[in-house]
Amino acid sequence: MILNEIQTMLKDYFDVLQTQDLAKFDQVFHPGCVLYSAQDGAVTVRPFQEYRKMVQGRESPQARGFARLDEVLMVDVMSPEMAMVKVRLRLFDNIMVDYLNLLKVDGKWTIVAKLFHRAETLAT
């Protein structure tokens, strides 16, 4: 049951990143969510509202014709209300690896923290 619920939320997460549907974005990400990354010596800390504005302001990978790659690499259920997930996906011409910290809030799984890493840039 829990794994099915998380898988459903992850499908929505992958869809959000490809289509940039903001209504679905608001369902997948908790309003208190913060995104973190450290790449090439630079640390990025991006609160929910800042990330939402970025997504809102750019053309989606789907609209630009980028191929899709969505993989769930790991699901670790800590309790009936908490889980951590590792995913790999294509975002534009990048392969990303994300760790998503999930909480079940008001009966739905949402992302409360995201660590992301650009693992590879594809040749265009």
pLDDT at 123: 74
- Report which DSSP code applies to 9: H
pLDDT per position as a tens digit, 16-71: 999 999 999 999 999 999 999 998 899 999 999 999 999 999 999 999 999 999 99
- Report which DSSP code applies to 16: H
DSSP H helices, 29-92, are 48-56
CB half-sphere exposure, 109, CA atoms < 13 A: 25
pLDDT at 124: 61
Q: Report the mean per-residue pLDDT for the chain.
A: 95
pLDDT at residue 78 greater than cutoff 90: yes
pLDDT at residue 98 greater than cutoff 80: yes
% of the chain residues with pLDDT over 70: 99
**Residue 66 burial (CB < 10 Å; 0-12/13-18/19+)?**
middle
CATH 3.10.450.50, domain 2-121, yes or no: yes
Residue 43 structure tokens: 């640390």
Q: Which residue has the tokens 């392969």?
A: 95
